Chains A and B, each alone.
Chain A
Amino acid sequence: MSVIGWGIDVIRRLGQRAIDGVGRLGRATFFLGRVAPSLGLILGRFRLIVQQLYMTGVLTLIIILVSGAFVGMILALQGYNTLVRYDAQSSLGLLVALSLTRELGPVLAALLFAGRAGSALTAEIGLMKTTEQLAGMEMMAVDPLFRVVAPRFWAGWIAVPLLAMIFTAVGIIGAYVVAVGDLGLDGGVFWSQMQSGVSVTNDVLGGLIKSIVFGFVISWIAVFEGYDAKPTSEGVSRATTRTVVSSSLAILGLDFIMTAFMLRGL
């Protein structure tokens, strides 16, 4: 192939990718438009959401608890190591609490959720599509968007902020154990610094808003990718990978934007 032909081919492929990407985004938005109004309907059958809350939220608890504890303990060790140089180790509690509530809690919990529950949601819906279970429901006059997709979407959205709060709380406890038990910091100082330095409206609420946004984005991506997956084994595996990759990138990108807004004000 000539160089010009090759160049044109590259441009054509780039264009095709861009068009595919925009097309997907459009489909995803339409899809969201069909799923989101289901809340009213689904509240009538709250059991469906509770079931999914168990599958997505409760079953993710272990990884959240363990990771949260370790992140808190590491933060305490690293933070102490730096703070002690400036004789500011009494601020360790504040440092840990601010890092966790504002950044690490929402972001890490969301990343873990995307890997543990988001991928599972995509694979489950994708496999249901592959094995004609969704088609079967449609033929039984049951709307799979309402019966299968919507409960998972809402449950995922609800689960992420809750998991992020748990992550943060466990992280702080982990840091306390290391700081007071191992590094010999005073427990009273640890808590009182935190109490005086952490603002509910700025820090806690900011972190909560972040995790609500992350929960929405992960759940949306996960259920859409599953529903949109090619009904083959390769299609489902690709969709699952895409869920984890897209959610992770979306979480980090959105985190940067939201942090910028929160620090500078709107």
Chain B
Amino acid sequence: MDTDPLVAVHQVSFSREGRPIFQGLHLNVAPGSVTAIIGGSGTGKTTLLNLIGGRLHPDAGEVRVAGETVSSLSRKGLFALRKRMGMLFQSNALLTDLDAYENVAFPMREHTQLPEALIHHLVLMKLELVGLRGARRSYPGELSGGMARRVALARAIALDPMMVMYDEPFAGLDPISMGVIVKLIRDLNDALGMTSIIVTHDVAEACTIADYMYLLGDGHVIAEGTPAEMQKTSAPDVRQFMAGLPDGPVAFHYPAAEYLTDLKAVGGL
């Protein structure tokens, strides 16, 4: 990773309502790569995307995207940067009062003065890429989970961004839809010359498409490497996550008082 990173998260600390989420988080995303950020639920993966997208500001450290420090940008500068970023939300965040076509056209209509004929071409091209040109007049409520995610993906690449952030892109999909999304992320990344950041807890899928992976835990990166390196590692906390073992360094039990004490406490005894 010697090239200038597109995204550099440098010694970032962040806490929410007094609860520390990141402490000294440090990671880089190389341009043109697919980088997977994996970690258990509640390790702040989505928060990390919000820090990169400038929706949250770090308490300490800095996040640089394409050479610009995100937290020091003005609102105008931030919006200019965001036009070059796409984001796929876990909930898809499609506008429910617009159909698939209008959802994809939305960023184009908001940010460009393109003539209608050109918007029509562009929208159909994006929808063709995700295989949903035929479903363009369906509303988000009429689409299946996998189709809605593909529409959201088409919208995320509507303005040909330099990078796309995927928040749990594989969550809640059937195996076929999952396979489609996995393939699309890799193909779009390579065909459009983008950079992709995938935040997920689906280790197997992440391993199949990522060039580089980071494992988050305890507010910082606990392991990093290519998928092959990550799968070979012998560190117990990494092994537990990669192999999906229910107990290990990450305890099965949430911290609690002693079991017997808790049992006796019922009814205020």
| B96 contacts A139, C-beta separation under 8 Å | no
Which of A9-17, A23-31, A129-137 lies at the interface? A129-137
- CB pair B87–A136 under 8 Å, yes or no, is yes
Query: Whole-angstrom distance from the CB of A121 to the nearest CB of chain B?
Result: 14
Mark out the residues of chain A between 81 and 110 whose CB falls within 8 Å of any chain B CB in the assembled complex: none
B-contact bits for A136-156, CB 8 A (1 contact / 0 none): 111111110001000000000
> Which of A133, A136, A137, A142 has the most B CB atoms < 10 Å from its CB?
A136
Q: A131-B91, A143-B79, A147-B110 are in contact. Are A138 and B96 (CB under 8 A)?
A: no
User: What is the total number of residues of chain B having a CB less than 8 Å from a CB of chain A?
Assistant: 19
Q: Which residues of the partner chain B approach A131 to less than 8 Å between Cβ atoms? A: 91, 93, 96
| A139, B79: Cβ atoms closer than 8 Å | no
B contact set with A: CB distance below 8 Å: 53, 55, 79-80, 82-83, 85, 87, 89, 91, 93-96, 106-107, 110-111, 155
Whole-angstrom distance from the CB of A133 to the nearest CB of chain B?
A: 5
Which of A132, A139, A140, A147 lies in contact with B91, CB distance below 8 A?
Answer: A132
Tell me the bound Cα distance from A215 to B44 in angstroms. 43
Choose one: B55, B96, B107; the contact of A140 (CB below 8 Å).
B107
Give the residues in chain B near A133, CB-CB below 8 Å: 93-96
Contacts of B89 in A (CB 8 A): 132, 135-136, 139
A-B contact pairs, 22 of them (CB 8 A): A131-B91, A131-B96, A132-B91, A133-B94, A133-B95, A136-B93, A136-B94, A136-B95, A138-B55, A139-B55, A139-B85, A140-B82, A140-B106, A140-B155, A141-B79, A141-B80, A141-B82, A141-B111, A142-B106, A142-B107, A143-B79, A147-B110
Q: Residue A139 contacts which of B80, B82, B106, B110 (CB distance < 8 angstroms)?
A: B82
Q: Kindly state the separation between the CA atoms of A131 and B96 in the bound complex, as whole angstroms.
A: 9
- Which residues in A have their C-beta under 8 angstroms from that of B80? 141
Find out whether the CB atom of A135 lies under 8 angstroms from the CB atom of B110.
Answer: no
For A130, the closest partner residue in chain B by CB is: B91
Q: A173 to nearest B CB, angstroms?
A: 36
User: 4 smallest A-B Cβ distances: which pairs?
Assistant: A136-B93, A141-B82, A141-B79, A132-B93
Q: How far is the CA of A95 from the CA of B240 in the complex (A)?
A: 82
Residues of A within 8 A of B87 (CB): 136, 139-140
